[in-house]
Copies of this chain bind each other. A is one copy, B any other.
Amino acid sequence: MDSIKVSIIGSTGYVGAELVHGFLCHPNVKLVHLTSQSFAGQLFSDVYPVYRGICDLPLEDISPEEVAKDSDLVITALPHGVSSKTVPVLLENGARVIDHSGDFRYKILATYEKSYKLDHPHPELLKEAVYGLPEIYREQLKDARLVANPGCYPTCSLTALAPFLKAGLIDKDSIIIDAVSGVTGAGRKSDLAYAYCELDEAFKPYGAVGHRHTTEISEQCSFLSGGDGTDIKVTFTPHLAPFRRGMLATIYCRPAASFADVSSDKINNIYSEYYKDEHFVRVLKNKELPDVKAVNGSNYIDVNGVYDPETGIIKLFSAQDNLGKGAALQAIQAFNAMFSLPEDTGLNTIIRGV
């Protein structure tokens, strides 16, 4: 089989670099173009010296047309508002696209425009775009021309919630998601707020009202429970923690009336059954709870849940690498689905104990 030609637009951020890492590990891919506006003319290994001798590809500042013409698939790691203008050009020029921004993640135009405070220049593509969570939208990915890679918090939250929403086992109005991200989630930038001395020994909430991922999660929760995308509103609070990679969601909800004899064991069994064929979702056993350390550097996401009989609250937990399952490696999982490759191709990272 010929190599699939892949290019990355915006390759020098942390997500871009993780994409480079992932595709370098992929046996069926040839990286064609790595673009960068800030570092054009340098090598990728000039920007990330760890790649010296491993990936010395040039960073180019070329047009989307040129990128598309040379590529079977283009991954865009661009800011929202920029992607919505660039992606259509790529599609027109014959490339399939996986986009990392929020621009194509919504089906409900009004929700996108309210959340991002932008008019969408190509609302017709919202319908076509497939939300790139393979565990949920695997079938649609096969023929997708445009895949919207999910947000990191949405991936973490939806993987934990899906089995219960699909089965109608939880009260849709009761969902509270308390989540924590490592520092790479903020991107690679010169910003005092993310300096070592400012973040070491720090921990804080942010975006406590109206963080954009709230509506993305809500819309997908609605679809999972058979709704039209507008009938669920989750409560969501992100926090920033002093580690580089990793994301944990702690989710609180109430069982629906239909959830008979709810117990921690039953929650664990529901997870085990729902995810029994999923390679990348690990359902923990023996009341063990997810830890971001156990998924560091991988596309795995660990889940488990408990029921607190004192208060009648269900707690669901999920842990992933925010750059892995939460961003770049999930994009590669979706890529495999798009090109009918075994979904774990290139992703069987052997993670480390320390």
Which A residues contact B (CB, under 8 angstroms)? 14, 17-18, 21, 24-25, 48-54, 176, 178, 180, 182-184, 188-192, 194-206, 208-210, 214, 233-235, 237, 239, 241-246, 248, 250, 252, 264, 282, 284, 288-297, 306-308, 310-311, 313, 315, 317, 319, 323, 350-354
Copies, count: 4
Whether A246 contacts B291 by the Cβ 8 Å rule is no
Whether B248 contacts A205 by the Cβ 8 Å rule is yes
The listed residue with most B CB atoms (<10 A of its CB), out of A196, A290, A315, is A196
Q: Given A183-B197, A192-B189, A202-B291, A237 and B209 touching (CB < 8 A)?
A: no
Whether B296 contacts A197 by the Cβ 8 Å rule is no
Whether B190 contacts A18 by the Cβ 8 Å rule is no
Whether B17 contacts A354 by the Cβ 8 Å rule is yes
Whether A203 contacts B49 by the Cβ 8 Å rule is no
Whether A51 contacts B204 by the Cβ 8 Å rule is no
| C-alpha spacing A199/B210, complex, angstroms | 31
How near does chain B come to A253, taking the closest CB pair, in angstroms? 10
Whether B244 contacts A241 by the Cβ 8 Å rule is no
Whether A237 contacts B250 by the Cβ 8 Å rule is yes
| C-alpha spacing A252/B252, complex, angstroms | 10
Whether B188 contacts A197 by the Cβ 8 Å rule is yes
Complex: chain B residue closest to A240, CB-CB? B291
Q: Please, which residues of chain B bring their CB within 8 A of the CB of A176?
A: 176, 252, 313
| C-alpha spacing A309/B353, complex, angstroms | 41
| C-alpha spacing A48/B192, complex, angstroms | 12
A201-B243, A239-B248 given; 16 more Cβ-contact pairs under 8 Å:
A14-B353, A21-B352, A50-B353, A178-B250, A180-B203, A184-B354, A194-B197, A196-B198, A201-B244, A205-B315, A210-B310, A233-B310, A235-B252, A235-B308, A237-B250, A252-B252
Q: Please, which residues of chain B bring their CB within 8 A of the CB of A192?
A: 188-190
| C-alpha spacing A107/B17, complex, angstroms | 46
